[in-house]
Amino acid sequence: MYNKGLFHNWVPKPVQLLLIILLMIVVMPLGGVYTGNVSYMTGGTGVLSEYFIFANYATTIGMGAAMPIVLRLKMRFKIRHKVTFALVLLGILNYINATTMDPAVIIGSSLVLGFLKMVVAIELFLPVMAMIGNRGMFYGVFYAFILIMNQVVGYYAVEISILYNWQHFFIIISILCFVLALIQWIFMHDQYFALRVPLYYIDWLSILFFVSMFMFSAYVLAFGKQQDWIHSTKIINASIAAFVSFALLVTRQTHLKRPYLSFKIFSKSNVLHGIFMLLCLGMFMATASLQNIFAVGVLGYDQLTNAKLNLLMVPGIILAGAVAVYWFKKDKPLKMLIFSGFSGMLGYAIIMYFSMVLEFSYESWYLPMFLKGYGMTVLFVSVWYYTLDKLELNDMLPAIGLFIVWRTFLTVGIFSALFSWFQYHFQVVSLGDMAVYMDGVTISSQSIAANMKTIQLNAIIASNKKIFGYIVLSGFAILAYILTHHFGKERFQYVRYIRLLAGKSVIGRRRMREQKQLAEDIQDVAGTAL
């Protein structure tokens, strides 16, 4: 017997929807580390904050590694067994993160947590997509919901860390995972989704190469500044290891009958342009580090107040979701939707450029954060929609994991590392410029200690202002690129990815039809993973 739903037939439809929403609320914002309480984890464990940045990257890498094989896992196991087992493991991993003081354990558990998160999340996309129908409208609703949940969970992670300690939040998440596992065991059916498929076609060595390539890259991006980049043998060795892993991964894919990843997609024009636009989006998203430096280091906000700033993006996220739903419902071309998204991010950068002053008030954050929330959500929906267009199914599905890692980890990590280096470099330049006007006449030896803080704050402001200036210039260039690039009215055009030869059994044909239909559904919804 097969059942393409998630729950028993006796479960009422409203209850099924409620259970799906509860799962999404808990599972989708899950992470090995929450950026808001990194400072508390650093103080509680006594280790460098770079370890927890590394762990945050590892969660995304685990999600990307799982994406190419979620279809086979879905076809192999009963839904109730798979989801319940994954939720129990997620609860255990969160408990491990709450109790360990070893950063290596947190990094490893974060990697596995991201993998299991994707295994569970793919089960949630399909029914929601079936209810909404239109893929673009689904992106608008789902991204708005997930991004809002991320901001809310990030805020409560900080608040609970302040009221109790950083470990309590992980324990709360762990308990929620165990409770959800029990609920799903009761209400989910114990039937297969379709004909069972074997697992021995999965190339685990390719998964190992994929994970090692990006984990070594994550080490370089997380510890580059702390290790002084190319002056560190560890950074050089990690860079070499990442390149070797990449070479082995590419080489192995060319010799496999069923490759883990497909690199033929890079011959598609929309894929190349989409990857470039995701890179531009990563540049704007990486400004979060500059925003934190300004809010905490210059304005003196505590961590809770700083976390509230992200909640100011919620109105913009809601508006972006509504605009995206309307846009795809009317079947309008993507060009101006993408243009409006980058315009929102550029508007945020322009306001921040002119706001680098000590007198910046909390109310002044409303407009830039609104624009940031709008721009980020619109680009998450529209650019991902455009990037995945016109791809064959057998090439598309394995490459989704690569796109996820590129969008969420690699681009943001690269620009965050660059901004961190330039921020320090421009501070030194700014101090040198100010030193020209400092002597015994302008600053006496008695007042030097009192003025040092002001001097340092002005150096930080000047550094941030210069970086935002370069971002603004890049933003105008991106808008010019968007206006000159031809998007058109994009629609998915699927091509037949397998030809059934004469003589195949009826069961074989049936299996191919079911796999194709499932692959189409997953292709439509897989890009929403964060």
Give the pLDDT confidence of 456-480 residue by residue, as tens digits. 888 889 899 999 999 999 999 999 9
260 against 91, higher pLDDT:
91
In a domain, 149, yes or no: yes
In a domain, 73, yes or no: yes
What pLDDT digit, counting tens, does each position of 43-83 carry? 888 888 889 999 999 999 998 888 888 878 877 788 888 88
The number of residues making up the chain comes to 530
Q: What is the C-alpha to C-alpha distance for residues 112 and 260, in angstroms, rounded to an integer?
A: 18
Nearest to 528 by CA among 272, 324, 258: 324
Number of Cβ within a 10 Å radius of residue 520: 15
Q: What is the C-alpha to C-alpha distance for residues 339 and 354, in angstroms, rounded to an integer?
A: 23
Output the CA–CA distances (angstroms, integers) from residue 161 to 105, 309, 504, in the order listed.
20, 17, 60
Q: Is 45 exposed, middle or buried (0-12, 13-18, 19+ CB in 10 A)?
A: middle
Amino acid at 178: F
Q: What is the pLDDT of residue 500?
A: 40
Which residue in the block uniquely carries the two structure tokens 């690129």?
481
Percent of the chain topping pLDDT 90: 28
SS (HEC) of 364-398 = HHHHHHHHHHHHHHHHHHHHHHHHCCCCCHHHHHH
Q: Are residues 477 and 328 in the same domain?
A: yes
In a domain, 414, yes or no: yes
Helix (H, G, I), strand (E, B) or coil at 258: coil
Q: Are residues 9 and 157 in the same domain?
A: yes
In a domain, 72, yes or no: yes
Contacts of 15 (CB under 8 A, 6+ apart): 7, 187
Q: What is the C-alpha to C-alpha distance for residues 113 and 94, in angstroms, rounded to an integer?
A: 8
Lowest average pLDDT, out of 339-343, 427-431, 500-504, goes to 500-504
Contacts of 496 (CB under 8 A, 6+ apart): none
In a domain, 464, yes or no: yes
Nearest to 295 by CA among 349, 365, 348, 243: 365
Q: Are residues 383 and 335 in the same domain?
A: yes
Res 517 pLDDT > 70 = no
Picking from 156, 181, 201, the residue at the C-terminal end of a domain is 201
Q: What is the C-alpha to C-alpha distance for residues 205 and 278, in angstroms, rounded to an integer?
A: 28
In a domain, 441, yes or no: no
Output the CA–CA distances (angstroms, integers) from residue 136 to 55, 129, 482, in the order listed.
32, 10, 20
Give me the CATH number covering residue 432: 1.20.1250.20
Cα 86–chain centre separation: 20
In a domain, 326, yes or no: yes
Q: Are 226 and 48 in contact (CB under 8 A)?
A: yes
Amino acid at 336: M
* 19-23-24 Cα angle (round to 5): 120
Q: What is the C-alpha to C-alpha distance for residues 352 and 70, in angstroms, rounded to an integer?
A: 41
Res 488 pLDDT > 80 = no
Lowest average pLDDT, out of 25-34, 318-327, 335-344, 446-455, goes to 446-455
Q: What is the pLDDT of residue 440?
A: 56
308-325: burial string, b at 16+ Cβ within 10 Å, e else: bbbebbbebbbbbbebbb
What pLDDT digit, counting tens, does each position of 368-395 carry? 999 999 999 999 988 888 888 777 666 6
Q: Are residues 226 and 291 in the same domain?
A: no
Number of Cβ within a 10 Å radius of residue 96: 19
Lowest average pLDDT, out of 121-130, 164-173, 196-205, 432-441, goes to 432-441
| Long-range Cβ contacts of 396-399 (<8 Å, 24+ apart) | 396/262, 396/265, 396/523, 397/67, 397/68, 397/71, 397/519, 397/522, 397/523, 397/526, 398/67, 398/68, 398/259, 398/260, 398/261, 398/262, 399/68, 399/261, 399/262, 399/265
Q: Are residues 397 and 309 in the same domain?
A: yes
What pLDDT digit, counting tens, does each position of 81-137 carry? 888 999 999 999 999 998 988 889 999 999 999 999 988 888 887 777 777 767 778
Q: Are residues 506 and 365 in the same domain?
A: no
Q: What is the pLDDT of residue 512?
A: 64
Domain total in the chain: 4
Q: Are residues 112 and 250 in the same domain?
A: no
Q: Are residues 280 and 347 in the same domain?
A: yes
Picking from 153, 168, 201, the residue at the C-terminal end of a domain is 201
What is the value of pTM for the model shown? 0.85
Picking from 201, 222, 242, the residue at the C-terminal end of a domain is 201
Number of Cβ within a 10 Å radius of residue 498: 10
Q: Are residues 135 and 251 in the same domain?
A: no
Token reading at 380: 């998450």
Q: Are residues 37 and 170 in the same domain?
A: yes
In a domain, 530, yes or no: no
Q: What is the pLDDT of residue 254?
A: 83
Q: Are 352 and 468 in contact (CB under 8 A)?
A: yes
Which residue in the block uniquely carries the two structure tokens 């559904």?
521
Contacts of 8 (CB under 8 A, 6+ apart): 187, 188, 189
φ/ψ of residue 91, rounded to 5 = -65, -40
Q: What is the pLDDT of residue 201?
A: 76
Structural domain range at position 53: 1-201
Q: Are residues 356 and 499 in the same domain?
A: no
What pLDDT digit, counting tens, does each position of 198-215 carry? 777 788 888 999 999 999
Q: Are residues 295 and 243 in the same domain?
A: no
